[in-house]
Structure 1
Amino acid sequence: MIDQFLAGDLSAVEEAVRKAAAAEIMPRFRQLDDHEIVEKNGPHDLVTTADRLAEQHLAASLTSLLPGSAVVGEEGVHADPSVLDALGGDAPVWIVDPVDGTRQFVHGDPGFSTLVALAHHGELLASWTFAPALDEMAVARRGQGAWLNGEPIRSGSPEPGTVLEVAISHYDFTTDAEKRALSGLHTPGARPRPCGSAGLEYLKVARGELDALAFTWENAWDHAAGLLLVAEAGGASATLTGESFRITGGNALPFAAARDEATVRHILGLLATAG
């Protein structure tokens, strides 16, 4: 079932992502009423009506495209943590973040995205990263490359001797222990900054506009689409112990993604000094 689906034209998935954003996200961009914004776990962890309705829209359309598939979405997991079990099951899984960068969305900043990845037995097979306010759609397919608005993209490598630009977990979302874990990046030769939408930061790495990422959390919906996008653009990623990131969880954190394997190793070495 999944092999036949992947062998076909996946443009219907891109269309489903665009339709969900057009129907549920963009009409509310810079138009949200106060009652449409709710705190989940604190003042920086927000959810909106757009998040919930876009995820429902995507769940319906994506499972219709691939009957028998499951959906693991940020809002669905928040409501029922057992939804995460699908990541380790036998059915193909759509991993969905309806509005990645909700804080940016709430504040009228166009730097947010809709993230969708397709996985099976823990392996990432395809991904879609859509920035609806910027009209940017990045697509990746395992073993077949990465594209932005239909044009191939490559991450390349940082110029030797340049200061590495690194996006890291935002300070507002990190504990003191996580800040200490990232402190190794505050060193000559690296310039860390807090990340925005994780999906768009991964896209910057895939395009060669950002050298690396270092994150302290492992929610699959934040990382699945971007990790495949970076890999198919020629980049690399690894956890603190040098292993591949597992979308099912249990990773050694922090983990890093970068424009090439040498940069990943260097970032992990810096992180290890803070351990």
Structure 2
Amino acid sequence: MTDSLPMTISTLSRAQRTSIMNLVRRASRSEIMPRFRKLDAADIGEKTSRQDLVTEADRAAEAMIARGLVTLFPNALIIGEENVSVNPEVLDGIPEAELAFTIDPVDGTWNYAHGLSVFGVIISALRFGVPVFGLLYDPVMDDFIVAQDGEGAEMIMPKRRIRRTVSVSAGGAVEDLSGYIGLYNFPKDKQAQLAAVLPRFERAYSIRCTAHEARMFAEGHVDFMISAKLTPWDHAAGALIGKCAGGHVAMLDGSDYRAQTREGYLLAASDAATWGRVRDVLSFLLDAPDETAKA
């Protein structure tokens, strides 16, 4: 066990980060991977729709990770996706929390529940809503991308004892860019207009897993990603990791991202110039709904 994080310090020690990674790996070995492709229908439930699923692996892994984080950081606010689904008031504590952790125990649950091996675990540490540590874990390959505020982003492969820095792409002109746009996460009244601009990019698509989309962005395999329906467990870690990997990350209106932000669109791109080009293509998303068109 590591010492608790002093509440006036905004960074985690290397030993604390290692403890968090070990905790996530244990949760994967005991709760996530043993259930993969072995779920019965009774083990899969719907939250808000047929596209928004929860499994026994989500619940069990979150409970194990939450217990471990409380042991390591007894004064921290713990924000787990599944707990928030029944206790939404937990989110109200983010702006005032000197230390908070978010947990997405199985990001890409739809993929996981349908036997696709594109899912991950996302952990972030927050200081007054500002992400200061982020972790994206691939349970299948057993490797991480992690970052801490003020430092670079790293790929860590524990079994191979490899650590290497990752960095975003060089960016470029709009027609040369590829990126992630989850079309159906955007407001219904914007989807047709959004679909119409997708051909302006070299490729724009979604793999239904924020953890892997953020990993691909941080490693420079795609040039941008834009997210709607913001939640802290989905987006805080990736926002920090993208920034630490050299990217430009901000809300589409230019404001800073905070973990308590629920409205608007989070855009990450390889540099400020590329961010601006993507923003210009997607700026219509900031327009107010046309009420006259509905009348």
TM-score (norm. length: structure 1): 0.93
Q: Which amino acid aligns with 2:56?
A: T
Corresponding position of 2:198: 186
Corresponding position of 1:241: 253
1:34-113 matches, within 5 Å, as: 34-113=41-120
Whether contact under 8 Å (2:101, 2:125) holds in the other structure is yes
Distance in 2 of aligned mates of 1:244 and 1:29: 37
Distance in 2 of aligned mates of 1:41 and 1:225: 24
SS at 2:102's partner residue? strand
Whether contact under 8 Å (1:111, 1:197) holds in the other structure is yes
Corresponding position of 1:227: 239
Whether contact under 8 Å (1:90, 1:121) holds in the other structure is yes
Corresponding position of 2:291: none
Once the 2 structures are TM-superposed, how far is the Cα of residue 4 of structure 1 from its aligned partner? 8.2
2:182 to 144, 165, 169: 169
SS at 2:146's partner residue? strand
Once superposed, what is the RMSD of the aligned Cα atoms? 1.9
Distance in 1 of aligned mates of 2:179 and 2:86: 33
Once the 2 structures are TM-superposed, how far is the Cα of residue 203 of structure 1 from its aligned partner? 0.8
Unaligned runs of 5+ in 2: 1-5, 157-162, 288-295
Quote the sequence identity (%): 30
Are positions 1:6 and 2:16 aligned together?
no
Are positions 1:259 and 2:270 aligned together?
yes
Are positions 1:151 and 2:158 aligned together?
no
Whether contact under 8 Å (2:174, 2:278) holds in the other structure is no
Q: Which runs of 4+ in 1 moved over 4 A?
A: 159-162
Whether contact under 8 Å (2:167, 2:246) holds in the other structure is yes
TM-score (norm. length: structure 2): 0.87
Corresponding position of 2:212: 200
Render the CA deviation track for 1:199-239: whole Å, top value 9, x for unaligned: 11011010000111112211111101111111110011121
Unaligned runs of 5+ in 1: none
Distance in 1 of aligned mates of 2:70 and 2:164: 28
Whether contact under 8 Å (1:87, 1:121) holds in the other structure is yes
Distance in 1 of aligned mates of 2:59 and 2:43: 10
